[in-house]
Chains A and B, each alone.
Chain A
Amino acid sequence: MTALALPTRKDEAYRYADLDALGRVWADLAQAREIVVPAGEAHSHVLLAANEAVEVHRARLVIQPGASLDLFALNGAAEYGRIEMDVEVREGARFTLNAANIAGGKATQEIVTHVRHTEPNGTSNQTVRSVLGGTATGSYLGKVAVARQAQKVDGEQSVKAMLLDRGATANCKPELEIYADDVKCAHGATVGELDPTQLFYAMSRGLPPAEAKALLLEGFVLQLWDDAPEDRRDELVEASRALLRRVAA
């Protein structure tokens, strides 16, 4: 295996990365995982990246004609978390990503996707929610590329970030690169704060401020996991809850 040079900030996909943290794990980093969903099959996959201080996950996914992949990813590393994927969506295939960044303290978390619709009639749907406290940085860099021959593709990105503290930063960069002319693509990105009226309502019912915040944040994030595989859903919910309680405290 040839050692690749550590990326620099000039590399668009690493613009907001924590390069010091990345440098520490770079030499031992596994190659991108290759996952192929065979034609006509429906797979779902859970990535729970919230155990180590630094978590870097890379994958190359190919969704064969008529197949579907539902991916659920929780990014919650305490120092640096990066989830990066290159996804090829073939004819009539479907890709769904539901992902969250939950970061407090000085953490940096990023979700970097490159979805390539190479053939007609494919669908991709990406929903990303970030909750950022302290001086944390959370990013979503999502590129959707639709090739010239990939007509009737539907690509959607919904990106929302919630900033809990003045020092927190959200970078939302949904990007479309469309060469076909008959495609439906939409993206929306919003950055907001907790609604003071909702907070007061929750506190007026007896919830202390930190608990009220955590509950509202659950409302913001946990819907991502509604359709997660049944045997992993509780795990995703509990891990998200624990992370949210920490950033809301």
Chain B
Amino acid sequence: MLEINNLHATVAGKPILNGLSLTVPAGEVHAIMGPNGAGKSTLSYVLGGRPGYEVTGGTVTFIGEDLLAQEPHERAAAGLFLGFQYPVEIPGVSSMQFIRESLNAQRRARGQADLSGAEFIRLARAEAAELGMDVDMLKRPVNVGFSGGEKKRAEMVQMGIMRPRFAVLDETDSGLDIDALRVVGAEINRIMRGPDRAALLITHYQRLLDYVQPDRVHVLAAGRIVRSGGPELALELEREGYAEVA
């Protein structure tokens, strides 16, 4: 579903990704782990097409298409979802409006009809309930006044409503207490597990992987994948630290 081949990228002229290769087949969940500053968030922004993150070499193919040739909103319509490490606040715009307009823009790009107001509210209510979130939270401005954990849960509600084919979740586990972690883990399984979906979990710690069993674990260091393995690699990293393993 996602094939990254020898990807190089710079930020503000500084090389951050240095020949990163990674393939995530449909139906699988992969984890990327690595020390601070390794380039994990940079990878997620490059996949999302964030301005300022310049690709200087390599290719990325997403569901058979050249991902890097697409604008950020086209990538979303193609089924890519980015869970932000630091979800962004948008004052004055309710989550309801934000998500509805985004979803309808995606649907239009795919040649589907807009969801009506009533259809959307029904969907939002159901997805918020799955997360144990009061739907009234979604009437508030996007992420404004939310705690760190609430922001991460709100990202999962967006993901549930949008039903992407592929999710890149950047440290979705940070800022969550153990109960929230369990709920979010269950949500990732519910939303992203399936024969024609896949996900890439970026995480610092093993603990999220107790709830979302990855098919493969990769270690990112200095902008490249330096090791890959099965779920046991995450445990080994937890025990021995990145310096030993990578």
Chain A residues near B (Cβ < 8 Å): 196-198, 200-209, 211-212, 215-216, 218-223
Are B72's CB and A200's CB within 8 A?
Answer: yes
Q: Which residues of A contact B51 (CB under 8 A)?
A: 196, 200
Residue of B nearest to A203 (CB): B72
User: A200 touches which one: B48, B92, B158 (CB < 8 A)?
Assistant: B48
Contacts A211-B105, A215-B98, A215-B101; A202 near B90 (Cβ below 8 A): yes
Q: Which residues of A contact B243 (CB under 8 A)?
A: none
Are B76's CB and A204's CB within 8 A?
Answer: yes
Are B93's CB and A216's CB within 8 A?
Answer: yes
Are B77's CB and A201's CB within 8 A?
Answer: no
Q: Which residues of B contact A211 (CB under 8 A)?
A: 101, 105
CA gap between A220 and B93 in the complex, in Å: 8
User: A204 touches which one: B48, B99, B109 (CB < 8 A)?
Assistant: B48
A207-B105, A209-B71, A219-B92 known, 5 other contacts, Cβ within 8 Å: A206-B76, A206-B162, A207-B73, A211-B101, A215-B90
List 21 contacting pairs A-B, 8 Å CB cutoff, sorted by A.
Answer: A196-B52, A197-B88, A198-B88, A198-B90, A200-B48, A200-B51, A200-B72, A201-B87, A203-B49, A203-B73, A204-B73, A204-B75, A205-B76, A205-B98, A205-B99, A206-B103, A209-B71, A209-B73, A211-B101, A220-B91, A222-B92
CA gap between A208 and B76 in the complex, in Å: 10
Q: Is the interface of A mostly helix, strand, loop or mixed?
A: helix
CA gap between A96 and B89 in the complex, in Å: 28
**B106 CB within 8 Å of chain A:** yes
The size of the chain B interface, using a CB distance under 8 A, is 32
Q: Which residues of B contact A196 (CB under 8 A)?
A: 51-52
Measured between C-beta atoms, what is the minimum distance from B73 to chain A in Å? 5
Are A202's CB and B76's CB within 8 A?
Answer: no
Are B141's CB and A206's CB within 8 A?
Answer: no
User: A208 touches which one: B52, B105, B158 (CB < 8 A)?
Assistant: B105
**B102 CB within 8 Å of chain A:** yes
Are B141's CB and A205's CB within 8 A?
Answer: no
User: B82 touches which one: A204, A207, A218, A223 (CB < 8 A)?
Assistant: A204
